[in-house]
Chains A and B, each alone.
Chain A
């Protein structure tokens, strides 16, 4: 039987990788990929705690992940369309070049 700590360590690794991407990459799309990795790690934690928790019949973790997936889908749609608009204006997706409010 695989215990809860293994899943937690795996999701911590995923989270750290996502954080590393957010901190270092120079492309808005890769920042979004990093955020998606961190979200996946959080969802994995929810499911792992639900599975090994004291009261799995309440399904709290699983339902939370359902809602979290829906919110993440909305976030991805809005974020990617923002990246598209920025690319159309500036011909670049580097967040460092987005430094002016004037369109």
Chain B
């Protein structure tokens, strides 16, 4: 019963994620691409929930859907041409090599996944990822990466603000 529910949920969320990813990659209007990207992020968060990583799923929702997707939408709207028409001379001959490379990489990886016997052993369901355990691991064993991430985020945000500010008084 539980297993059937999980399969249905996986099929639904997976097809939603893939469809939205195809839309994000293929649509002509950049605004639609940005909105589809947000749907992809929601779908991936759903997959995390399905994989018993609730905390990561909620972090994904907060950071990606709440911040990154909104940021992407802002930049798309700011850099839109005034007339609203997207002039994108997509050359067909550039699309074919790109599609071939992407399809080749997919097929190679697919073959490797299908041939590997060690991937299909049955695993018992692990205990859910507890937020308490994550927090304790973060501030005990992974303290240095945590600090480095803090420095990186601060630097990146200050740098981004400096970049975006530059044109106001610089010229």
* Residues in chain A within 8 A of chain B (CB atoms): 1-10, 12-21, 23-27, 29-30, 32-34, 36-37, 40, 43-44, 47-48, 50-53, 56-57, 59, 62-63, 65-67, 69-78, 80-85, 87-88, 93
Given contacts A37-B25, A59-B129, contact A14 B160 (CB under 8 A): no
Question: A13 → chain B, closest Cβ, in Å?
Answer: 6
Partner among A1, A13, A19, A63 whose Cβ is within 8 Å of the Cβ of B18: A13
Question: A85 → chain B, closest Cβ, in Å?
Answer: 5
Cα(A46)–Cα(B106), bound, Å: 18
Contact A33–B72 (Cβ < 8 Å): yes
Contact A80–B75 (Cβ < 8 Å): yes
Q: Could you name 29 residue pairs across A and B whose Cβ atoms are closer than 8 Å? A: A1-B3, A3-B119, A3-B120, A4-B120, A13-B106, A16-B106, A20-B98, A20-B99, A21-B25, A23-B98, A23-B101, A24-B90, A37-B40, A43-B44, A47-B56, A52-B123, A53-B123, A59-B129, A62-B134, A66-B56, A70-B63, A72-B64, A73-B63, A80-B71, A80-B160, A83-B75, A84-B163, A85-B164, A87-B79
Secondary structure class of chain B's binding surface, majority of residues:
helix
Cα(A63)–Cα(B82), bound, Å: 44
Asked if B12 CB lies within 8 Å of chain A CBs, one says no
**In the complex, which range does the number of interface residues on chain B fall in?**
35 or more
Partner among A8, A18, A19, A50 whose Cβ is within 8 Å of the Cβ of B101: A19
Given contacts A16-B105, A19-B101, contact A5 B119 (CB under 8 A): yes
Partner among B21, B51, B56, B101 whose Cβ is within 8 Å of the Cβ of A17: B21
Contact A17–B119 (Cβ < 8 Å): no
Question: B82 → chain A, closest Cβ, in Å?
Answer: 10
Partner among B10, B33, B89, B167 whose Cβ is within 8 Å of the Cβ of A26: B89
Cα(A76)–Cα(B63), bound, Å: 11
Contact B110–A9 (Cβ < 8 Å): yes
Contact A62–B105 (Cβ < 8 Å): no
Contact A57–B41 (Cβ < 8 Å): no
Query: Which residues from 25 to 43 on chain B have a C-beta closer than 8 Å to any C-beta of chain A?
Result: 25, 30, 33-34, 37, 40-41
